[in-house]
Amino acid sequence: MTCANIQPIVILISGSGSNMVALLDAAERHHWQERWRAQVVGVLSNRPDASGLAKAAARGVPTETLDHRTFETRDAFDQALIVRIDSMVPAQSRPPLVILAGFMRILTPAFVAHFEGRLLNIHPSLLPAFQGLHTHERAIEMGCRFAGATVHEVTAELDHGTILEQAVVPILPDDTPGTLAARVLTQEHRIYPRAVEGWLARHAAS
């Protein structure tokens, strides 16, 4: 398989990378490379201390960091991030599929436009409800009976875009934000690989 024949994937993380691990597991278990010529070519974090970097490296996946704190503006960071991501991918295979897996940055319109149609995210709520942060606290405070997670295509509007997968979990009477987050995270690990596999099936490299 030549570089030109692969569908490269770059995963962006900021922390432990649990969704990244679920994606790497699925890629191996479900034979993404053989089925869709898809290969995770790199994992990049905006935090040098992100523990997920070591998990990716242990699996032989190249890792890089780009510390957002060294940039004066969000635009400057995102422009550098574009260059760094593209550098991880063979020129003839650009742009890659970029998967946000706990990447805690609001992306600029210029970044989203560069990877338009090839940028996926998972959000810990049933979008369009509870966009933004503190989703579990807000769901409990509002008296919701259910919570969940959503995989969606990324647009310039925060937590917007076409919904690809959702999972629903009940909110129990004694739930705390922590217990609810843990239960939702289990479902994130299930639906994110499924959503990516659906995307790959629709955009199989030729």
- Domains in the chain, CATH or no CATH each: 8-202 (3.40.50.170)
- Cut 0.75: pTM above it: yes
Average pLDDT (49-56) is 98
> What pLDDT does residue 170 have?
98
Q: Identify the residue with better confidence: 5 or 149.
A: 149
**CB 101, CB 24: distance < 8 Å:** no
Q: Which two tokens stand for residue 15?
A: 């922390």
**Is the pLDDT score of 1 beyond 70?**
no
Average pLDDT (170-187) is 98
Q: Where in the sequence numbering do the catalytic residues fall? A: 123
Positive or negative CA dihedral for 163, 167, 173, 174? negative
> Which tens digits make up the pLDDT trace of 8-25?
999 999 999 999 999 999
Give phi and psi for 165, each to the nearest 5. Answer: -150, 150
**Is the pLDDT score of 6 beyond 90?**
no
Task: Say if strands 146-153 and 119-123 run parallel, antiparallel, or are unpaired.
Answer: antiparallel
Positive or negative CA dihedral for 8, 65, 115, 102? positive
Average pLDDT (53-71) is 98
First to last CA, the chain: 12
Give the other-Cβ count within 10 Å of 75's Cβ: 13
**Is the pLDDT score of 2 beyond 50?**
no
CA distance 35 to 152: 23
pLDDT band at 68 (very low <50, low <70, confident <90, very high): very high
Average pLDDT (21-47) is 97
> Which tens digits make up the pLDDT trace of 108-164?
999 999 999 999 999 999 999 999 999 999 999 999 999 999 999 999 998 999 999
pLDDT band at 4 (very low <50, low <70, confident <90, very high): low
**Is the pLDDT score of 198 beyond 70?**
yes
Give phi and psi for 180, each to the nearest 5. Answer: -70, -40
**CB 93, CB 86: distance < 8 Å:** no
> What pLDDT does residue 174 have?
97
